[in-house]
């Protein structure tokens, strides 16, 4: 999915009109957002001092968030005045297109805009991104954000409802299946009624496909931090800190539905106050293909792992994560923590900069195992130093995933701005953009249409990778992505970097 300035890690894009792709998501990469976004590029604006009859320009802004969002077209960025509060229900009446979402974000300047009220994305909405905002659903009827549409992304936001009800709710049986939702780099906290009812969660994935929940801090919610119930399929939960919720994560099913093929990897799940850190529940029929691998588990009231039928649990670390200051909600790991790497970036783990994120490595089932390319095409008269940089930059790797019509594209770790773009002919069918404050790998998850896997031969991968002294290297894989092999495996693709150019 798109993302101006940083898909906070993870973007999901359905390429309609390009049969080779159904979705592209940034499954893992990390960095820390900056509180002041002076470089945000705004199409239209809203301010509490504006008017909904205005033009929406910087000098003549709209007044409400709804009028601003309704004015946006594919690729547009709507900017809410930082430090201001916008109240009222916000409904997704307009949509973007694959690779060109509409984006709602805080405008240039220090601080964030706050939206108070329900955010509702109906089943016919798609390709919408909310980024760098404070979202408070305390005045919603029951849930917020309420997501029924496809390719909806929430990136680097602070999300709460002051213990009013459920926060994120994805899909609803009989109303809509939420597909390819991305929830990345957010702080999700203080959701759900107290005393706890067992019904109010930080993230409730009800009826959804291919959800990505990565690099979030999910804490102090009344019931589950994350509930996958009853029909959550193909969810990827990675590199989150899930602390102090009534319950940690459940994978469950009922009434003829069973959540299946969900992966929970490299999370720290701790201090659940009511039941367990990991558990399952099957009211009718048991799910399959669910895995919890390499998570750090600590100090749940009724044990770190409760009932776990239908969930393969392996490689868990049962240790105190040693947060820097849990009381202050600084969930960075102290030096020497046994849970290091099992959560978002430690250098951005504390308020008042919510929504920090880090590299979330794909689970073993999607691990990129190929070696670096062995050669690169020549660039125009490069120096020896540039040649070495090009070879390093060319470590853009691709791997088909076993039993899935999808592959992962990764780069070696870089510090700076990284961009990965998938193109079919002259058309961009998906991109991931991110800024890294220190060297981090970037990875894109790309799913191929079941109708025509062979059509993937049309698609080429391009990357822009940072060099030293404010210069970048453009790298293109030397051949298009070949059709999916019968058995998933590594693709040894090389890259070429013509000339380094000013950033």
Do 322 and 385 fall into the same domain? no
Give the model confidence (pLDDT) of 354-382 as tens digits: 333 333 333 322 222 222 222 222 233 33
Q: Phi/psi at 326 (nearest 5 deg)?
A: -60, -40
Domain final residue pick, 317, 335, 361: 361
Do 284 and 426 fall into the same domain? no
Do 178 and 293 fall into the same domain? yes
53 lies in a domain? no
Distance CA 79, CA 92 (A): 16
Distance CA 435, CA 185 (A): 13
Any idea what DSSP says for residue 55?
-
Do 330 and 349 fall into the same domain? yes
CB 140 within 8 A of CB 112: no
Q: What is the mean pLDDT of residues 90-106?
A: 95
**Which of residues 27 and 122 earns the better pLDDT score?**
122
144 lies in a domain? no
Do 195 and 317 fall into the same domain? yes
126 lies in a domain? no
Do 356 and 395 fall into the same domain? no
**Which of residues 307 and 435 earns the better pLDDT score?**
307
Task: Please state whether 404 falls in left (phi above 0), alpha (psi between -120 and 50) or beta.
Answer: beta
pLDDT value for 467: 67
Do 334 and 376 fall into the same domain? no
76 lies in a domain? no
Distance CA 111, CA 109 (A): 7
pLDDT value for 424: 60
465 lies in a domain? yes
- Percent of the chain at pLDDT > 70 equals 62
CB 44 within 8 A of CB 68: yes
Beta partners for 257?
254
Give the model confidence (pLDDT) of 148-197 as tens digits: 999 999 999 999 999 999 999 999 988 899 999 999 999 999 999 999 99
Does the pLDDT of residue 498 top 70, yes or no?
Answer: no
Domain span holding position 276: 156-361
Does the pLDDT of residue 32 top 60, yes or no?
Answer: no
Give the model confidence (pLDDT) of 259-298 as tens digits: 999 999 999 999 999 999 999 999 988 999 999 999 999 9
Where is average pLDDT lowest: 296-300, 315-319, 325-329, 485-489? 485-489
pLDDT value for 140: 85
Do 454 and 356 fall into the same domain? no
- Percent of the chain at pLDDT > 90 equals 57
Please name the residues in contact with 52: beta carbons below 8 A apart, sequence gap of 6 or more. Answer: 62, 63, 64, 67
Residue given tokens 């496809």 in the structure block: 150
**Which of residues 124 and 378 earns the better pLDDT score?**
124
Any idea what DSSP says for residue 248?
E
Please name the residues in contact with 270: beta carbons below 8 A apart, sequence gap of 6 or more. Answer: 241, 242, 243, 244, 277, 296, 297, 298, 299, 300, 321
24 lies in a domain? no
Question: Is the bond preceding residue 145 a cis peptide, omega within 30 degrees?
Answer: yes
125 lies in a domain? no
Give the model confidence (pLDDT) of 128-144 as tens digits: 999 999 999 998 888 99
Secondary structure (DSSP) of 13-54 = ---TT-TTEEEEEEEE------S--TT---SEEE-TT--TTS
Domain final residue pick, 361, 394, 424: 361
Identify the band that residue 324 occupies on the pLDDT scale cut at 50, 70 and 90: very high
pLDDT value for 479: 55
pLDDT value for 17: 27
Distance CA 56, CA 67 (A): 9
Domain final residue pick, 361, 384, 401: 361
211 lies in a domain? yes
Please name the residues in contact with 32: beta carbons below 8 A apart, sequence gap of 6 or more. Answer: 345, 347, 348, 353, 356, 357, 437
**Which of residues 474 and 36 earns the better pLDDT score?**
474
SS3 387: helix
For the record, the structure tokens of 252 come out as: 């469950």
For the record, the structure tokens of 89 come out as: 């229900």
Distance CA 150, CA 14 (A): 9
Please name the residues in contact with 425: beta carbons below 8 A apart, sequence gap of 6 or more. Answer: 458
Please name the residues in contact with 70: beta carbons below 8 A apart, sequence gap of 6 or more. Answer: 93, 94
Does the pLDDT of residue 438 top 90, yes or no?
Answer: no
pLDDT value for 480: 59
The domain that holds 399 is classified in CATH as 2.60.40
Do 338 and 207 fall into the same domain? yes
Do 172 and 233 fall into the same domain? yes
Q: How many domains does the chain have?
A: 2
Do 352 and 374 fall into the same domain? no
Residue given tokens 């509060």 in the structure block: 85
Q: Phi/psi at 328 (nearest 5 deg)?
A: -95, 10
Do 214 and 342 fall into the same domain? yes
Q: What is the mean pLDDT of residues 436-459?
A: 53
Identify the band that residue 332 occupies on the pLDDT scale cut at 50, 70 and 90: very high
- Widest Cα–Cα separation across the chain: 69
């Amino acid at each position: 999915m798109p993302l101006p300035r940083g898909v906070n890690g993870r973007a999901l894009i359905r390429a309609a009109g390009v049969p080779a792709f159904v979705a592209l998501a940034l499954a893992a990469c990390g960095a820390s957002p900056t509180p002041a976004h002076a470089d945000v590029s705004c199409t239209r604006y809203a301010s509490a001092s504006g008017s909904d009859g205005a033009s929406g320009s910087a000098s003549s802004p709209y007044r409400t968030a709804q009028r601003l969002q309704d004015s946006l077209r594919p690729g547009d960025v709507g900017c809410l005045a930082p430090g201001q509060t916008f109240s009222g229900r916000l409904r997704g009446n307009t949509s973007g297109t694959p690779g060109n979402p509409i984006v709602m974000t805080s405008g240039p300047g220090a601080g964030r805009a706050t939206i108070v009220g329900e955010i509702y994305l109906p089943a016919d909405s798609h390709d919408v991104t909310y980024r760098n905002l404070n979202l408070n659903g305390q005045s919603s009827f029951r849930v917020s954000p309420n997501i029924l549409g496809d390719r909806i992304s929430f990136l680097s936001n602070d999300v709460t409802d002051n213990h009013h009800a459920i926060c994120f709710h994805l899909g609803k049986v009989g109303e809509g299946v939420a597909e390819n939702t991305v929830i990345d780099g957010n702080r999700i906290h203080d959701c759900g009624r107290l005393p706890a009812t067992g019904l109010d969660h930080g993230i409730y994935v009800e009826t959804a496909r291919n959800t990505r929940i990565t690099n979030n801090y999910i804490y102090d919610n009344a019931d589950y931090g994350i509930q996958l119930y009853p029909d959550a399929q193909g969810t990827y939960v990675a590199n989150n800190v899930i602390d102090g919720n009534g319950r940690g994560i459940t994978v469950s099913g009922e009434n003829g539905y069973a959540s299946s093929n969900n992966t929970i990897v490299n999370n720290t799940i701790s201090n659940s106050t009511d039941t367990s850190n990991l558990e399952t529940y099957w009211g009718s029929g048991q799910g399959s293909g669910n895995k919890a691998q390499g998570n750090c588990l600590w100090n749940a009231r009724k044990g770190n792992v409760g009932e776990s039928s239908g969930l393969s649990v392996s490689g868990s670390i049962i240790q105190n994560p040693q947060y820097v200051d849990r009381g202050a909600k600084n969930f960075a790991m102290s030096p020497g923590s046994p849970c290091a790497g099992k959560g978002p970036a430690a250098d951005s783990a504390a308020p008042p900069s919510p929504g920090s994120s880090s590299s979330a490595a794909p689970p073993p089932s999607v691990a990129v195992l190929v070696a670096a390319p062995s050669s690169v095409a020549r660039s125009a008269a490069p120096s020896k130093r540039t040649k070495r940089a090009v070879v390093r930059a060319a470590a853009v790797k691709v791997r088909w995933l076993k039993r899935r019509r999808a592959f992962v594209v990764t780069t070696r770790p870089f510090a700076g701005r990284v961009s990965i773009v998938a193109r079919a002919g002259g058309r961009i069918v998906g991109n991931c953009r991110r800024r890294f404050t220190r060297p981090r790998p970037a990875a894109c998850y790309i799913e191929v249409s079941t109708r025509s896997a062979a059509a993937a031969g049309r698609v080429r991968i391009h990357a822009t990778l940072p060099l030293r002294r404010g210069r970048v290297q453009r790298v293109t894989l030397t051949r298009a992505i070949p059709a999916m092999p019968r058995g998933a495996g590594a693709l040894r693709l090389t890259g070429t970097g013509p000339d380094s150019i000013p950033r």
